[in-house]
A and B are shown apart, each in its own frame.
Chain A
Amino acid sequence: KAGVTQTPRYLIKTRGQQVTLSCSPISGHRSVSWYQQTPGQGLQFLFEYFSETQRNKGNFPGRFSGRQFSNSRSEMNVSTLELGDSALYLCASRPGTGAYEQYFGPGTRLTVT
């Protein structure tokens, strides 16, 4: 099976812009979670989607949003980018029912200038 894929891998944006990141889970996985990794804050949970519904949300401002499509692919959007949004954004998937291991994608490196 193919692993979790994320696009794009690298992105440079300017303050105030918005950005959309994409994640395709492992085939058959219905749950997708997003994490932000920064040197200062470490790895922090953003949100989880299961069957197109957000089931959990971390402590991030409303500028961070996401959605999941019927094929389980997920997108994450950040509006009005700030310098502090520069981070590695990781997506992880799991089957969603009775399975609790999350498998991560390679990440999207976002740089905000």
Chain B
Amino acid sequence: EVQLVQSGAEVRKPGESLKISCQGSGYYFPNSWIAWVRQMPGKGLEWMGIIYPDDSDARYSPSFEGQVTISADKSINTAYLQWSSLKASDTAMYFCARRVQAGYGSELFDPWGQGTLVIVSS
């Protein structure tokens, strides 16, 4: 079974750093892009960025460029999303998802991790 398992919920203070993880299993992890998606409380889905674990090529949405860093360690089938200085507005659920290229230009995000809740509060 193809699966992405994310790290657990985190509570941090503004200004603190944080790194959350997403571990893949059931497929060859290095060869599939992993995307990160933010969902603020009661809001919709926002694509943040994506990484190719084999060479750590990372691309970012302009809205998140410079705000977060996406990395990966293919030796342990894990992708990461990190902040150097959290803000209260970073409070959200964060999902990772595997990008699947289905042929003829079609693609999909499948599967998704279960989500990591990040709460930033003083």
Question: Do A and B truly interact?
Answer: no
* Residues of A that sit less than 8 Å from B by CB: none
* Residues of B that sit less than 8 Å from A by CB: none
